C-alpha cells in the first residue's frame, strides 16, 4: 500500500513539474508564442487552477472510493497549486507590468477578476508556507481552521477564471461547477449520505 501511494506521489511531482519545464524550454528556444507574456500567464493560471481542483478532489475521492491513502496527495498537489499561482501573479507583476505598482493598483481597482484572483494567490501562499509540521505545532488547533481557507481560495479561483474570459465559454463554467460540487461534498450531511451509500453498495456487492 505504501509503495503504491509513493508511486502516486512521484507521478504527481513529475506531472506538476512538466508544464514548467516545457514552458521554460519553449521560452529558451523562442518558440513559445508571439506573445510570450500572455502565454506564460495562461499556462501558469491553468496549471494552478487544475492542481487546486485536484487538491480539493482528494477528500471527496477518498469518500467515494473508500481509498483513504488518496488523501496523502493533498499536500503535494496543494503546494504545486500555490507554486503556479505565485508564478501566475509574478508574471503579471514583474514581467508584464515591470513592478510599476501605480499601474498595477489601477488595474486592480478596475478589474474584478484581479480583485478575486489576488486574495486566492495570497491564501495559497500562506497555506504553503504553513504546511510544515513546525507550523502545525505552533498554530495548534488554529492550523486546521487556517487551512480550511483553501475552500475560499477555490471559490475565488473559480470566480477569477470565470471573470477573466470576456465571453462565456464552457471551460470556465465547467470549472466553476466542478469546484462548487467539490466544496459541497464537504457538507457533513452529504458526507454521511455518501458513506451510507458506499456501505450499502459494499453489502450488495
The reported pLDDT for the residue numbered 184 is: 82
Cα–Cα nearest to 53, from 96, 84, 9, 17: 84
The reported pLDDT for the residue numbered 188 is: 60
SS (H, E, C) 114-175: HHHHHHHHHHHHHHHHCCCHHHHHHHCHHHHHHHCCHHHHHHHHHHHHHHHCCCCCHHHHHH
Q: Are 34 and 27 in contact (CB under 8 A)?
A: no
The reported pLDDT for the residue numbered 77 is: 96
The distance from CA 71 to its chain's CA centroid, rounded to whole angstroms, is 15
CA distance 186 to 197: 16
Total Cβ atoms within 10 A of residue 69? 15
Q: Along the 205 residues of the chain, how does pLDDT read in single tens digits?
A: 555 557 778 888 999 999 999 999 999 988 888 899 999 999 999 999 999 999 999 988 887 777 778 888 999 999 999 999 999 999 999 999 999 999 999 999 999 999 999 999 999 999 999 999 999 999 888 888 899 899 999 999 999 999 998 777 788 889 999 998 888 877 765 666 666 666 665 555 5
Q: Are 85 and 124 in contact (CB under 8 A)?
A: yes
The reported pLDDT for the residue numbered 7 is: 78
* Residues in the chain, total: 205
The reported pLDDT for the residue numbered 196 is: 65
The reported pLDDT for the residue numbered 177 is: 92
**3-state helix, strand and coil shares in percent for the chain, rounded to the nearest 5:** 85, 0, 15
The reported pLDDT for the residue numbered 9 is: 84
> pTM of the predicted model, to two decimals?
0.88
CA distance 81 to 75: 10
The reported pLDDT for the residue numbered 181 is: 87
User: Does residue 31 sit in helix, strand or coil?
Assistant: coil
Can you read off the three cell numbers belonging to residue 173? 463554467
Amino acid at each position: 500500500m505504501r509503495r503504491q501511494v509513493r508511486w502516486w506521489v512521484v507521478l504527481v511531482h513529475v506531472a506538476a513539474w512538466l508544464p514548467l519545464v516545457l514552458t521554460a524550454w519553449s521560452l529558451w528556444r523562442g518558440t513559445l508564442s508571439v506573445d510570450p507574456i500572455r502565454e506564460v500567464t495562461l499556462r501558469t493560471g491553468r496549471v494552478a487552477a487544475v492542481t487546486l481542483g485536484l487538491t480539493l478532489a482528494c477528500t471527496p475521492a477518498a469518500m467515494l472510493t473508500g481509498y483513504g491513502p488518496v488523501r496523502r496527495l493533498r499536500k503535494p498537489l496543494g503546494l504545486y497549486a500555490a507554486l503556479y499561482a505565485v508564478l501566475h501573479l509574478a508574471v503579471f507583476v514583474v514581467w508584464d507590468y515591470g513592478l510599476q505598482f501605480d499601474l498595477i493598483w489601477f488595474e486592480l481597482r478596475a478589474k474584478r477578476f484581479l480583485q478575486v484572483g489576488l486574495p486566492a494567490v495570497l491564501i495559497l501562499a500562506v497555506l504553503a508556507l504553513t504546511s510544515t509540521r513546525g507550523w502545525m505545532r505552533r498554530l495548534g488547533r488554529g492550523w486546521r481552521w487556517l487551512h480550511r481557507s483553501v475552500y475560499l481560495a477555490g471559490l475565488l479561483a473559480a470566480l477569477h477564471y470565470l471573470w477573466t474570459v470576456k465571453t462565456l465559454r464552457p471551460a470556465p463554467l465547467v470549472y466553476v461547477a466542478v469546484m462548487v460540487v467539490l466544496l459541497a461534498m464537504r457538507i457533513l450531511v452529504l458526507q454521511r449520505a455518501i458513506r451510507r451509500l458506499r456501505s450499502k453498495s459494499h453489502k450488495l456487492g
